[in-house]
Amino acid sequence: MYVCNCNGLRQRDVARAIEAGATRPRDVFARHQCAAQCAKCVCEMRQMIDDSRQSLALAAE
């Protein structure tokens, strides 16, 4: 499923960027050498980043 229609970024693309260390939507865009266009995807990216952080925190316990 697409997260960013403007840049053609799918969930898996965003997830890979997060796994590679992206901590902000800006980092996700930079990893894919693009930039936010309409920014509708930013909230979903932030949620994915937060979910990843929570998963890592739970795994560390």
Residues 6 or more apart whose CB falls under 8 angstroms from that of 31 comprise: 17, 20, 22
In the structure, what pLDDT confidence band is assigned to residue 56 with cuts at 50, 70 and 90?
confident
Name the residue ranges covered by the structural domains of the chain: 2-60
Domain 2-60 -> CATH class: mainly alpha
Question: What is the residue whose two structure tokens read 């053609």?
Answer: 8
Rounded Cα distance, 53 and 29, in Å = 19
Quote the mean pLDDT of the chain: 96
For residues 55 and 60, what is the distance between their CA atoms, to the nearest angstrom?
9
pTM of the model: 0.90
Q: What is the pLDDT of residues 18-51, one digit of tens each?
A: 999 999 999 999 999 999 999 999 999 999 999 9
Enter the tokens of residue 10: 């799918």
Give dist(CA 11, CA 7) in Å, integer: 12
